Amino acid sequence: MENRLAENIRSYRKNLGLSQEQLAERLGITLGTVSKWERGASEPDLMYIMEIAELFHVSVDVLIGYTMRGSNADEEQERIKKLVNEKSVQEAITEYDNALMKFPNHFGIVYDAAECYKQIGTVYRKEAELRKSIELYRHAIDLIGQNRDPEVSEISIRNDIAGSYSTLKEYDKAVKEFEKNNVCGNNDPDIGLIMIQHLKKPDEGMKYSERAFINKLSEMVTIMSGFILYYRDKKNLKRGMRAAGWTIQYLESMKDEPAKACYLDKIISLYHLTLGIMQSANGQDREAEESLRLAVRMARDFDGDPVTSLENIVFADHVVTGYVYDNSGATAMDGLKHVMEEEGEYAGKAFRSMFTELVSEIENT
């Protein structure tokens, strides 16, 4: 048997954000007593161990660090996970129920059980399982200090709760949960859809949906830039050119009136240049020249009459914003220069010379 009581008191106290003095106040003891416990100089009696375990939302055996062969909570969690992967969630439910009786305050088991119950409740539309998942998720939040999975957080768990409420058709509760964790608008799509489709609040919901649309448009540009650079660095120029071409088509499709100026023209010109750089690197000199000239022409036209609003972008009719910007440069031409400084080495010498000539012609007129 291993006793890790001193280490665990210190660890769980810090996870709760408590100082030694604050813990002492909670327990009605002296600061010196807590200090001795955490140094291992003395140990709390059973009454305090039970009180501390309750405060930290862990079982007494977990707090002490007591483990027996075949009864380790982490091992039990991994065993049931394999069962889920190899067999079915239905069979795993019984195992989770048994594990919860033995380890009611082990974060991993509580959270995984909640996931299992939610999956069954969602797939088979079972109310009892969905409510059980909500109960377990809320308990998992109490135990979040034990979590070691970077992909799981209180925000993600609360969104799981919101998803369960939505499946239960308790849409007001779902929206309330989503709004609690709407960090940087991450839940805007869900809130907007629920309000429009289920709560019959179209105008209020559309504010969320439009904001989500603009954010996702920006995210897609960032995502595709990652794809393009990945393929370029992997010397897979055909895939990189395909990604750049797709991005250009995608952004062009976002214009309400194709022939009319739009803020997106500034971004599109950058992708034409990026496409040209890869075409040049691939030996497609004629295509590279066409892409380069198109990029420079679009940048020149945009800078001549810049659009700094969401005008002429589809589905952005009511988005309220006075000014939009990006980090490519103050002007579209600045953006092209920046791309050439960063990526121009991949292009041929003739391509780089042509770019310099075209930009010089524009700046001298």
- pLDDT tens, position by position, 94-109: 889 988 888 888 999 9
Within 198-284, where are the H helices?
202-233, 237-253, 264-281
Nearest Cα neighbor of 63 from 36, 35, 43, 39 is 43
What's the average model confidence in pLDDT over 58-65?
76
Helices 107-124 and 127-142: angle between axes, nearest 10 degrees: 160
> In angstroms, what CA-CA distances link 151 with 29, 119, 155?
37, 18, 10
- pLDDT tens, position by position, 245-294: 999 999 999 999 999 999 999 999 999 999 999 999 999 999 999 999 99
Q: What is the pTM of this model?
A: 0.73
Tokens 């990945």 locate to: 230
- pLDDT tens, position by position, 130-164: 999 999 999 999 888 889 899 999 999 999 999 99
- Give residue 233's pLDDT band: very low, low, confident or very high (50, 70, 90): very high
pLDDT at 47 over 80: yes
Q: Check residue 66 and give its pLDDT.
A: 58
pLDDT at 226 over 60: yes
pLDDT at 126 over 70: yes
